[in-house]
Amino acid sequence: MAEIGFIGVGNMGGPMARNLLKAGHRLKAFDLSAPVLKTVVAAGATAAASAEDAAKGVEIVITMLPAGQHVRDVYLGAKGLIGTAAKGTLFIDSSTIDVATAREVAAAAAQAGMAMIDAPVSGGVGGAEAATLTFMVGGPDAAFARAKPILETMGKTIVHAGPAGNGQAAKVCNNLILGASMIAVSEAFVLAEKLGLDHQKLFDISSKSSGQCWSLTSYCPVPGPVPTSPANRDYQAGFTAAMMLKDLKLAEAAAEQTAAATPLASRAAQLFEQMVASGRAGMDFSGVINLIRESRRGK
């Protein structure tokens, strides 16, 4: 069993940490929020006094933080882990952040004699609780091999996507597909409504035709055809519009840096920005169908 430091035990990190404890690992946890930290201490973790403290006397450190700036602060800041943790420590960053920051932090870790992987996840809070997350991993082969048994305690599908940053690259590319496809499916249902075509009929046909995709068959944005989709519970998240916007902005940043053309991702980001600005940041992202229904052609 491993000694693990866990930094950032919020909505995702909390259940991930609890699954590690359940598997018998010893955890030193830290979070800036005392109530959040308390919940994992109640599950058996030791409370650390700081991020630096969480990384002392452990072999592995996992971070699950909101965004790139938080990751930068924890690893590269004044008392950052790269300057303070023991050589040979394995860092696993599971936060969703921009590819450039992931590569910069990994390079600094390698230079300081530490191993690091970026390992963002998909599967949401439900997947974190059920230990069925998908981990998309970037980093050296040896670091991946060391991390894999730990990741298997928290997830079901673990894919090594290539060198440092490639886990984040996979995550932004996947969520670009998700954001754009949800809008396309939503537009099709709204057009169908205007044409007098029943939701269920469109679903029955498209789910067996070339329009088939996850946004349609697993997360259908209208109530009825897929009983488990958020549309059946007033678009209660799920995966919020704010999170989709964050990920599409990361895709935009990556496209900007590489001069890749991403016209649909740019438009999708605008629509989710509009959804967030209209007070629906916490609504499930499939609620974008309401924004489309309220819009008029040409506006």
- From the list 28, 79, 156, 171, the catalytic residue is 171
Which residues are 116's β-sheet partners? Answer: 91
By CB under 6 A, tell whether 12 contacts ligand NAD. yes
Tokens of 273: 């920005």
Do the Cβ atoms of 4 and 28 come closer than 8 Å? yes
Binder of ligand NAD out of 19, 39, 89, 95 (CB under 6 A): 95
Residues 212-251 that bind ligand NAD (CB under 6 A): 239, 243
By CB under 6 A, tell whether 102 contacts ligand NAD. no
Binding part of the chain for ligand NAD, among 102-110, 111-119, 122-130, 218-226 by CB under 6 A, reads 122-130
Closer of 70 and 160 to ligand NAD (Cβ): 70
- Please say if 171 is a catalytic residue: yes
Location of structure tokens 């499939």: 286
Residues 6+ apart with CB under 8 A from 235: 283, 284, 286, 287, 290
Dihedral pair phi/psi, residue 61, rounded to 5°: -125, 130
CB 67 to ligand NAD: min, Å: 6
Handedness of CA 80, 147, 116, 16 (dihedral sign): negative
Give, to the nearest 10 degrees, the angle between helix 141-154 and helix 13-22: 90
Q: Rg (Cα) of the chain, in Å, rounded?
A: 20
By CB under 6 A, tell whether 119 contacts ligand NAD. no
Closer of 28 and 70 to ligand NAD (Cβ): 70
Binding mask 55-94 for ligand NAD (x = CB under 6 A): ---------xxx---x--xx--------------------
CB 85 to ligand NAD: min, Å: 14
Q: 47: helix, coil or strand? A: strand
Closest Cα partner for 40 from 66, 59, 15, 3?
15
What does the binding site for ligand NAD look like in residue numbers (CB under 6 A)? 7-8, 10-13, 30-33, 36, 51, 64-66, 70, 73-74, 95-96, 121-122, 124-125, 239, 243
- The catalytic residue positions are 171
